[in-house]
Amino acid sequence: MRARGEGHEKILLAGFVLAALAAGPAVAADLPTKAPVRTTAAIAPVGDWTGFYIGGHVGNGWGTKDWSNPEADPSGRGADHVNGTTAGGQIGLNWQTGYWVFGIEAQASWANIDGGHHYVPTDVFLFSKVDSLGTIAGRIGYAWDRSLFYVKGGAGWAHDKHWIHDGPTGDLLGAASQTRWGWVAGAGWEFALTRQWSAQIEYNYMDFGKERLTFSGGSLGVVPGDIDQQIHVVKGGINYRFGGSMAVR
C-alpha cells in the first residue's frame, strides 16, 4: 500500500512540474517589464575641443552705407546697398570644461563687397567698397555630441573705399578711404569631421556707426561726408585643431 501511495505522489508531482513549465512563458509575458534605462551617452561630448586651431573660410557679405552731410543736405544723400564675397582665415584658442567651451578667435578676410546709388536730384553717383574686414572676439559654446554651438562678441574692423562720380562725364569728383572699427556679434555651429578636423558655419553682424570722411582728389576739392554703415556676413569654413581630439574616425 505504501508503494502504491508513493507512486501516486510521484505522478501528482510530475503533473505539477509539467503544468508550471507550460504556464511559465504566459505568466512571464503578463509580468510588468522595467522601462529601458535612458542614457545620454549618445548626446554627450565625444571629445575635447580644447586647444589652438587654425582654418580658412569663404562667405558672403551684405549691408548698407548711408551717405549724409547734415550741413549741406539735411534730408540725406541715400544709401549704397552693398553685396559681395569674402574669403580668409581664422586662428583661435578653445578651453573646454564639461559641456561648456570658452575661447577667443581672430578672423581676417579679403572682401569684394560693393555697391552704389544715384544721388537724386543731382547727376552725381556715389559708390562704396569693402575690400577687407575682420573680427577679434570671445566665444562661448556648448558641446553636444560632435557639435559645438556658440555665440561670439567683440570688435570688428573694415577697410572701406568711397567714390563720388559725375554721372554725365564719369569724372571723379572725390574719393576717400579708411579703416573703421566697430562691434561685432554672431553665432555659429561647428561639427567634428575627424579627430582633428571640423567644419563650421557662422553669421556675424558688424556695426560701425556713423563717421565723417574727407573726400579729396577730384574736381570738388576737399569736401566732408558722413557715412553710417552696418555689414552682415555669413561664412562657411574648416578648422584644424592642435589640442584636444574628438573620438571619431
Is the distance from CB of 158 to CB of 130 less than 8 angstroms? yes
What CA–CA distance (Å, rounded) separates 79 from 88? 27
On whether both 9 and 69 belong to a single domain, the answer is: no
On whether both 82 and 176 belong to a single domain, the answer is: yes
- Which three three-digit cell numbers place residue 52? 589652438
Residue 85 lies in a domain: yes
Number of folded domains that form the chain: 2
On whether both 79 and 166 belong to a single domain, the answer is: yes
On whether both 20 and 116 belong to a single domain, the answer is: no
Residue 153 lies in a domain: yes
Range of the structural domain that residue 161 is part of: 51-241
Residue 46 lies in a domain: no
Per-residue buried b or exposed e for 101-135, using 16+ beta carbons within 10 Å of the residue's own CB: bbbebebebebebbbbbebeeeebbbbbbbbbbbb
On whether both 115 and 11 belong to a single domain, the answer is: no
Residue 40 lies in a domain: no
Is the distance from CB of 140 to CB of 150 less than 8 angstroms? yes
On whether both 21 and 139 belong to a single domain, the answer is: no
What CA–CA distance (Å, rounded) separates 246 from 249? 8
- We report the CATH number of the domain holding residue 191 as 2.40.160.20
What CA–CA distance (Å, rounded) separates 7 from 40? 60
On whether both 110 and 205 belong to a single domain, the answer is: yes
On whether both 110 and 16 belong to a single domain, the answer is: no
* pTM attached to this predicted model: 0.78
Is the distance from CB of 239 to CB of 90 less than 8 angstroms? yes
pLDDT score for 221 = 76
Residue 202 lies in a domain: yes
On whether both 117 and 26 belong to a single domain, the answer is: no
pLDDT score for 43 = 67
In one letter, which amino acid is 71?
A: E
Q: Residue 47 carries which DSSP code?
A: B
In one letter, which amino acid is 9?
A: E
pLDDT per residue rounded down to tens, the chain (249 residues): 444 444 544 444 444 443 444 444 444 444 444 545 444 444 677 789 999 999 999 999 999 988 887 666 655 577 778 999 999 999 999 999 999 999 999 999 999 999 988 887 778 888 999 999 999 999 999 999 999 999 999 999 999 999 988 888 888 988 999 999 999 999 999 999 999 999 999 999 999 999 888 888 887 777 788 889 999 999 999 999 997 777 675
Residue 9 lies in a domain: yes
pLDDT score for 46 = 79
On whether both 158 and 59 belong to a single domain, the answer is: yes
Residue 219 lies in a domain: yes
